[in-house]
Every structure is written in C-alpha cells, then in structure tokens.
C-alpha cells in the first residue's frame, strides 16, 4: 500500500458504518440492503478523505483490471485520426477504465507482441482499430477475448464492429449538389476501385441518390487520393474541354488538388464549379473558399466502440455511425457566374 493512502476501513469508520457496507457502496453492489442515508455518509466520507480504491486488489478479487487494450496500425499517431483515440480514452475514463494503446505500423510481429503484452497485463477487453476502413484478419491471440473492431470489420462479420456510415455519406454528398440545383455534369474525383471500402460505399450512395432523382453521374476522374494526382487529373480533364458544374471529391486531399487545377484554369469555386468532399480534415477550413465536406466522426467512433465493449452483451455485426455534413462556401447553384 502506498504511504498515506486512505483505506476503506478508515472511510467506514469516518462514515460510522461497517467495512462491508462501505465496500458495497464504493463498488456499486446492490445485493445488500443499504439505506440511502448510509450510502450518502459513505460517499461523503470518501470525498472528505480523498479515498481512492485499490484497483490492483480489486482486480485480484474480481479478475477485472478496469483496463482496455487498443491495438491499431497507425491510428494512434495519425494526427487526422487522433480524435478516435481521444473519444476512446475519454469514454474509458468516464467508466473508470484506463486505455493501453499499442501501434503496430502494420508489422505482424509487433502486433503479436503487443497483444501478448496486453494479455499479460490482464486487460479486460480489446479494441482493434485500423486507420483506413477495411476488412481485416484478426490476430489469433485475440480469439475468445472481449473484442470490438473499430473502423474495420472481418469477412464473416461476426465480431462486433463500429464503422462510419460511408454509404449514407455518399447520399449526403450527392443530395448537397442536387439541393443546390445541380442536375448534370456532376463528376466524382478519386480512386473508385471496388477494393477500397470507403470509395465503394460512397460511390454506391452517390449513385443511388442520383438514380432516385432520375439523373446519373457524368463520369469519374480517376486519380489516387492525394493532391498532386488529383491536380494532374483534373487539369487534364479541363484541358480536354470538359465543363463540370459539380465535383464530388472522395476526400479533402483530392479536393485540394482539384481546387488548384480549377483556379489555375481561370474558373471560380463555387461560381463555375461546386465542390463537395469527405473527411472534414483541417484542409476543409483552410481552403479558400472553405470546403463543404462530409465529416468522419472520429470522436464518436472511439466513444461508441468503448461503450459497446463495456456493455458486456454486445452482439455481432456492424454498428454504423452517422457522418455529418459540414456546410461551407464551396457549393452554389450552377451557372452563378453567368
């Protein structure tokens, strides 16, 4: 015991109750009848004495350590996705749990060692997270332990997972242009290959909304999800004489490259071309005009995953988290400059 640490017995004496009564109050147990007045005295005594429970001793008795292990590839140190960690940490603390964070950088050997180290520390459960939404294969050592997937899923879908609702996000992006009056010459910019989870689901949502309105995409401008490839692709597209009125960029970095190409061509955003994007990264507020973007709800993803893990009765399958639209200045009715 640490020197000077207040014991539960001292709390009980200060409150004028038995140690058993104090223990039941401080652990939240309800299988012993305790008066409301006695419970208040115990909690007041704990506050006055600055009592802190001995979690190690409690863990030995209950086999719970009130700790959670977060295993990720790069999400822990990626500034853009740091809100996932903040959401998980703050929610764990709210429930009197601590979060151990381990990052693998995609190295299977490091991952195996991290999982084993956390098991050696007897964490109560795991979050397994990926930077990019995708299907993943779980480490064998995690089987049989309480587990929630964060921003990823397994092929059999039996493990509970928390994912952003990319399909509805695609619908939101398309509706944003339609609501502004765009009916044709709408293009998607980015890598639309079906093996990219976010791209596949965003494109499906976009297509569904346009189909419901008896419209269709004018086409896609294929490029990698980075500013330079986007700039090159959109520049060549415009040089070929194409005249889009609306671009749906598959992330904010793609939108950044598109901005440069459009402005270099002497066109104005949103007067000549409206742009809507995904992610709501810092870029969206830094660009001029500021970029309308569908946000990835990083904090909410982390929060929801911890809540699901601690619920204790989490079913398998996927829980989708809504992606809110951040309206800014990059969308206007078509032909406003004319």
User: Does 2 map to a domain?
Assistant: no
Give the model's confidence band at 62: pLDDT under 50 very low, under 70 low, under 90 confident, else very high.
very low
Q: What CATH number is associated with residue 112?
A: 3.40.50.2300
Higher pLDDT, 301 or 145: 301
Q: Are residues 132 and 177 in the same domain?
A: no
Q: Are residues 142 and 232 in the same domain?
A: no
User: Does 337 map to a domain?
Assistant: no
Percent of the chain with pLDDT over 70: 88
Q: Are residues 176 and 87 in the same domain?
A: no
pLDDT attached to residue 153? 86
CA-CA-CA-CA torsion for 326, 291, 231, 176, nearest 10 degrees? 60
Q: Are residues 303 and 199 in the same domain?
A: no
- Span 138-192, pLDDT tens digits: 888 888 888 899 998 888 777 899 999 999 999 999 999 999 999 999 999 999 8
pLDDT attached to residue 31? 60
Instruction: Report the 3 state secondary structure along the chain.
Output: CCCCCCCHHHHHHHHCCCHHHHHHHHHCCCCCCCCHHHHHHHHHHHHHHCCCCCHHHHHHHHCCCCEEEEEECCCCCCHHHHHHHHHHHHHHHHCCCEEEEEECCCCHHHHHHHHHHHHHCCCCEEEEEEEEEEECCCCHHHCCCCEEEEEEECCCCCCCEEEECHHHHHHHHHHHHHHCCCCCCEEEEECCCCCCHHHHHHHHHHHHHHHHCCCCCCEEEECCCCHHHHHHHHHHHHHCCCCCCEEEECCHHHHHHHHHHHHHCCCCCCCCCEEEEEECCHHHHHCCCCCEEEECCHHHHHHHHHHHHHHCCCCCCEEEECCCEECCCCCCCCCCCC
User: Does 335 map to a domain?
Assistant: no
| Residue pair 199/164 in contact by the 8 Å Cβ criterion | no
pLDDT attached to residue 1? 38
Q: Are residues 183 and 263 in the same domain?
A: yes
Sign, CA dihedral 251-253-259-261, equals negative
Give the model's confidence band at 208: pLDDT under 50 very low, under 70 low, under 90 confident, else very high.
very high
The answer to whether residue 218 scores a pLDDT higher than 90 is: yes
Tell me the residue range of the domain where 175 lies. Answer: 166-296
User: Does 60 map to a domain?
Assistant: no
Nearest-angstrom CA–CA distance, 327 and 131: 25
Q: Are residues 201 and 260 in the same domain?
A: yes
Nearest-angstrom CA–CA distance, 62 and 64: 5
User: Does 59 map to a domain?
Assistant: no
Supply the pTM of this predicted model. 0.77
- Span 113-141, pLDDT tens digits: 888 888 888 888 889 998 888 888 888 88
Q: Are residues 205 and 256 in the same domain?
A: yes
Q: Are residues 212 and 230 in the same domain?
A: yes
Q: Are residues 229 and 247 in the same domain?
A: yes
The residue-averaged pLDDT of 20-29 equals 75
Give the model's confidence band at 244: pLDDT under 50 very low, under 70 low, under 90 confident, else very high.
very high
User: Does 21 map to a domain?
Assistant: yes
- Span 100-110, pLDDT tens digits: 888 888 788 88
Q: What CATH number is associated with residue 42?
A: 1.10.260
Q: Are residues 138 and 251 in the same domain?
A: no
Nearest-angstrom CA–CA distance, 32 and 34: 6
Give the model's confidence band at 63: pLDDT under 50 very low, under 70 low, under 90 confident, else very high.
low
The residue-averaged pLDDT of 189-217 equals 92
pLDDT attached to residue 30? 59
How much is the mean pLDDT over the chain? 86
User: Does 327 map to a domain?
Assistant: no
Structure-token match 């909410």, residue found: 300
Q: Are residues 243 and 266 in the same domain?
A: yes
Q: How many domains does the chain have?
A: 3
CA-CA-CA-CA torsion for 111, 117, 118, 119, nearest 10 degrees? 110
Q: Are residues 170 and 290 in the same domain?
A: yes
Report the DSSP beta bridge partners of residue 198.
Answer: none
User: Does 58 map to a domain?
Assistant: no
């Amino acid at each position: 015991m640490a020197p000077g640490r207040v014991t539960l017995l001292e709390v009980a004496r200060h409150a004028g109750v038995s140690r058993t009564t104090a223990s039941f109050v401080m652990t939240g147990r309800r299988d012993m009848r305790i008066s409301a007045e006695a419970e208040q005295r115990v909690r007041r005594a704990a506050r006055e004495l600055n009592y802190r429970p001995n979690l190690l001793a409690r863990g030995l008795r209950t086999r719970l350590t009130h700790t959670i292990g977060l295993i990720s590839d790069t999400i822990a140190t990626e500034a853009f996705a740091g809100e996932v960690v903040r959401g998980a940490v703050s929610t764990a603390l709210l429930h009197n749990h601590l979060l151990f964070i381990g990052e693998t950088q995609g190295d299977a050997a490091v991952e195996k060692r991290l999982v084993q180290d956390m098991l050696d520390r007897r964490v109560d459960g795991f979050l397994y997270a990926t930077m990019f939404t995708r299907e993943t294969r779980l480490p064998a050592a995690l089987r049989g332990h309480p587990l929630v997937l964060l921003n990823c899923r397994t092929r059999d879908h039996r493990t509970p997972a928390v994912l952003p609702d990319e399909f509805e996000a695609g619908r939101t992006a398309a509706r944003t242009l339609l609501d502004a009056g765009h009916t044709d010459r709408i293009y998607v910019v980015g890598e639309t290959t079906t093996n990219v989870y976010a791209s596949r689901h965003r494109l499906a949502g976009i297509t569904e909304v346009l189909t419901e309105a008896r419209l269709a995409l004018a086409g896609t401008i294929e490029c990698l999800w980075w500013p330079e490839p986007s700039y090159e692709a959109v520049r060549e597209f415009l040089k070929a004489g194409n005249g889009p009125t609306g671009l749906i960029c598959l992330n904010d970095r793609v939108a950044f490259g598109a901005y440069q190409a459009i402005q270099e061509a002497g066109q104005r955003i949103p007067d000549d071309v409206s742009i809507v994007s995904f992610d709501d990264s810092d870029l969206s507020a830094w660009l001029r005009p500021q970029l309308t973007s569908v946000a990835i709800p990083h904090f909410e993803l982390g929060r929801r995953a911890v809540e699901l893990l601690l619920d204790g009765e989490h079913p398998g399958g996927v829980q989708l988290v809504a992606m809110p639209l951040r309206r800014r200045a990059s969308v206007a009715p078509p032909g406003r400059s004319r």
